[in-house]
Amino acid sequence: GPSRAPPNLAVHKHGLLFVTSAGNNGPALSTGGAPGTSSCCIAVGAYCSSAMMGPQYSLRAKLADIQYTWSSRGPTYDGHLNVSVSAPGGAIAPVPNWTLQGRQLMNGTSMASPNACGGITLLLSALAARGERWSPASIRRAIETTALRTPNATGSAVEVWALGRGLLQVGAALSWLEEHGGHAHCDVRFELSATTHGCSTAAGAGARGVYLREPQHSSSSEVGVDVFVRPRLHEEAPNAQRVSLDVGVTLQPSAPWLSCAPFLAL
């Protein structure tokens, strides 16, 4: 929609990183808000560690790390993951003088987003100090690949719809870029378009992911989905680089109820 146009222009044409909050409308699914629902944005969820709880909320007993319940969850209505990574979503922070106090406890993905943005800035600063180049695609791939999956109170991993790929890990992301930054496909992003058979909603034709949420999908013995994946370079990439772009992908189902072709040539 119109809310996606400015972020797309900033990232894909001008090479900026667009870090934004995921939203504060959780814990229900599909509660993310614009502009974080845009595929080009790094939407950040809000996480609360056990170490944060004591000084910030004066808890008497130690509790397990959690994703804040109000942190918005994905996916979007057309199947996009929505939350990219998570970061601490609360802090005792300085506030304006008109509040007549020096500091205040603040909570929200609007706290998590600047925390993540500062971490990513440190990553860019380290790359600049070493004279290494980067692109929005390479930075996003680095932080999502190295993000830390964390357990919830029951010991199982926090669901990906809430946490995203995991907690931002600046040092690990830098190490990943040192090892993989020169890879031929490091600057490539992938656009997905999915059409679910028998679905007439936003998750049907031309969706950004597979989102089975219609009654006929839960009652049917088999649901077919046509998925198209397109590799994309930056809009200013030279034509020679576009012509030489050749990506081969090996596919493997991640669940026993999934099946797919074993190989995809892009």
- Tens digit of pLDDT for each residue in 94-138? 888 998 999 999 999 999 999 999 999 999 999 999 999 899 999
The model's pTM is: 0.88
Whether 140 has a pLDDT exceeding 60, the answer reads yes
Question: Which pLDDT does position 199 carry in this prediction?
Answer: 66
Q: How confident is the model at residue 165 (pLDDT cuts 50, 70, 90)?
A: very high
Question: Is residue 84 within 8 Å of 165, Cβ to Cβ?
Answer: yes
- Tens digit of pLDDT for each residue in 57-91? 888 888 888 899 999 999 998 889 999 999 999 98
Whether 157 has a pLDDT exceeding 80, the answer reads no
Question: Which pLDDT does position 252 carry in this prediction?
Answer: 92
Question: Which pLDDT does position 171 carry in this prediction?
Answer: 96
Q: Put residue 134 in one of left, alpha, beta given phi > 0 → left and psi -120 to 50 → alpha.
A: beta
Distance CA 211, CA 190 (A): 18
Whether 141 has a pLDDT exceeding 70, the answer reads yes
Kindly state the average pLDDT of the residues 38-50.
93
**Sign of CA pseudo-dihedral 89, 94, 98, 99:** positive
* Cβ-based neighbour number of residue 162 at 10 Å: 25
Residue linked to tokens 């370079």: 233
Q: What is the DSSP string of 185-232?
A: TTT-EEEEEEEETT--STTSTTBSS----SHHHHHSS---EEEEEEEE
- Tens digit of pLDDT for each residue in 183-219? 878 889 999 888 888 665 555 678 888 888 777 777 7
> What is the pLDDT of the chain when averaged over all its residues?
88
Q: What's phi and psi for 153, nearest 5 deg?
A: -65, -25
* Cβ-based neighbour number of residue 240 at 10 Å: 8
What share of the chain in percent tops pLDDT 70?
Answer: 95
